[in-house]
Amino acid sequence: MARGPDGQGGGAGFSLADQLFNRGSLGDLGRDFAVLPGFDAARFVDTALPRLAGLGVHARLEVMAEALAEQLPSAFPEMAEQVAAALPPPLDPGLQDDDFGRFIHAVPGVLAVRHGMEHPDAALDLIHAATQRFSMEYAIRPFLNRWPDKVLARLDDWAGDPHYHVRRLVSEGTRPKLPWGMGITLDPMVPLRHLDRLHADGTRFVTRSVANHLNDLSKIAPDEMLARLSRWQQEGRQEARELDWITRHALRTAVKRGEPEALALLGYRADLPVTARVTLDAPRVAVGGMLGFAVELTSPEGGAALVDYRLRFHRPSGSAEKVFKLKSARLVPGKPLRLEKRHRMKGDATTFRLHPGPHAVIVQVNGRDVAEAAFELTGD
């Protein structure tokens, strides 16, 4: 189950916030800060722990930052020096991906935002150090809004930083639609100068962020996103296989929308001639049951085919649709391709409720609808 910024979900009784922030993890953070003269780690835990009950992830980080600040200098430049001195060793700069660090080390970013907004140089120094222990994309966005020129100058430099977590921050922190992140007022075209450098990075942790950044951009400036990808392909600065991965990941939303330009960039012809037929296992499916269907595709010319299907859901106020992946294949001229799929009509999803009534499955090839079949969703 997907979780929001408060760390809820995962089944009855499960709390991500409790898993991340508890007496043990707070004790670890307290030991980090115990290197500072006079810092009382036990006092920190005893102060913060009782305040965490019932709070989500971000709220708990605020509580922990407040409890730390009670034992730190009130003047931010001195506070920032002490926080930096208490940081654990940086994450391994030799790794390529999936080394996220620990959530407790997001606290320096919270302190930077809470206390350092009028001291941007010291705050950015702290964010630079802290992001080598845990990602700081949420922390840098308030500074980007308050001090855009100063932050952009740092990002210009950080795009070439030796540590890949710092390089990733340049892309991730400026994403136009960062999930659960503060909105930024920056012109979304400005960070493209950084992506022009970072798309050729040798670490997947960085290039995944570049791809996600471009996917965000596809929702507000699709033409610019496509132009960038085309230019990168022509420049050939990134290894071809990795650039292909970036391109596919960046275009995932555009492909779901069936945009011909995006499909063409991936080698799929929107005008590929296809004859299609979709058959259902049964005309009625119960909520919680399985929708089974088969698709048969034939093309006189053949070629690359991206086959997706959409479900059209009945709603009391109308209808809604969602796109699902089916198959990426190559059609052979005159030779039928048969695909089968079983899709569970989940009735307990918290984000998308099902309503009994007329539904349909629509098959699309290279973004173009080619076949459709109706079925009835029942409540029993």
CATH number of the CATH domain containing 145: 1.25.40.290
Do 108 and 157 sit in the same domain of this protein? yes
- The tally of domains found in the chain comes to 2
- Residue 30 in any domain: the answer is no
Among 191-205, 215-229, 259-273, whose mean pLDDT is lowest? 259-273
274 close to 298: Cβ distance less than 8 angstroms:
yes
Do 295 and 238 sit in the same domain of this protein? no
Query: Collapsing DSSP states into helix, strand and coil, what is residue 195?
Result: helix
The tally of CA atoms less than 13 A away on the side-chain side of residue 351 is 6
Domain that holds residue 252: 72-265
The two structure tokens encoding residue 129: 């150090």
Do 182 and 325 sit in the same domain of this protein? no
- Residue 32 in any domain: the answer is no
Task: Give the separation between CA 28 and CA 11, rounded to whole angstroms.
Answer: 27
- Residue 335 in any domain: the answer is yes
- Residue 295 in any domain: the answer is yes
Do 285 and 237 sit in the same domain of this protein? no
pLDDT at 16: 84
| Residue 160 pLDDT greater than 70, yes or no | yes
| Residue 94 pLDDT greater than 90, yes or no | no
Do 125 and 252 sit in the same domain of this protein? yes
| Residue 34 pLDDT greater than 80, yes or no | yes
Domain boundary among the residues 265, 284, 317 is at 265
pTM to 2 decimals? 0.83
pLDDT at 350: 61
- Residue 21 in any domain: the answer is no
272 close to 370: Cβ distance less than 8 angstroms:
no
pLDDT at 349: 64
Q: Residue 14's pLDDT band (boundaries 50, 70, 90)?
A: low
DSSP label at residue 51 = G
Task: Give the separation between CA 212 and CA 214, rounded to whole angstroms.
Answer: 5
pLDDT at 256: 83
- Residue 244 in any domain: the answer is yes
| Residue 139 pLDDT greater than 90, yes or no | yes
Do 234 and 153 sit in the same domain of this protein? yes
Task: Give the separation between CA 131 and CA 1, rounded to whole angstroms.
Answer: 27
How large a percentage of the chain has pLDDT more than 90?
85
CATH code of the domain containing 365: 2.60.40.10
Do 284 and 233 sit in the same domain of this protein? no
Do 252 and 279 sit in the same domain of this protein? no
Mean pLDDT score, 57-83: 97
| Residue 12 pLDDT greater than 50, yes or no | no
Q: Residue 95's pLDDT band (boundaries 50, 70, 90)?
A: confident
194 close to 159: Cβ distance less than 8 angstroms:
yes
